[in-house]
Copies of this chain bind each other. A is one copy, B any other.
């Protein structure tokens, strides 16, 4: 059986894909993949998601230059969640990587504190300078 057939795609043909930074272990983001996105990710060695808002394949970094190099692709016990071990490219060497379109390291920059969501991570680069 084709490895792509073993994935339990949801009724929209998607699965959630978590990107975890290989070096730091940080969870960078979660986006979605359809069959083509996962196939291309495996083939290219760089992450391709399915953009639900734009309804098209989205090569991560195609606009920002912040691509994700794939080290491992994993599947969970229910075959319906993908975990990617990646190197987040695009930032200058030695600097904290940027995965989030807000110019932050990771997308999970809001922390629940005393009944509210607080932004607790810095913007490393102005998004206006990332998306020209």
Q: A residues touching B (Cβ–Cβ < 8 Å)? A: 3, 6, 16, 18, 20, 24-27, 29-30, 42, 72-79, 81, 83, 100-102, 104, 107-112, 115-117
Is the beta-carbon distance between A110 and B75 smaller than 8 angstroms?
Answer: yes
| Contact for A18 among B6, B24, B30, B75, CB less than 8 A | B30
Contact A112 B74 (CB under 8 A): yes
A74-B111, A77-B109 known; A3+B102 contact, CB < 8 A: no
A27 touches B16 (CB 8 A): no
Given contacts A26-B25, A27-B20, A27-B27, contact A112 B76 (CB under 8 A): no
A100 to chain B, nearest CB (A): 6
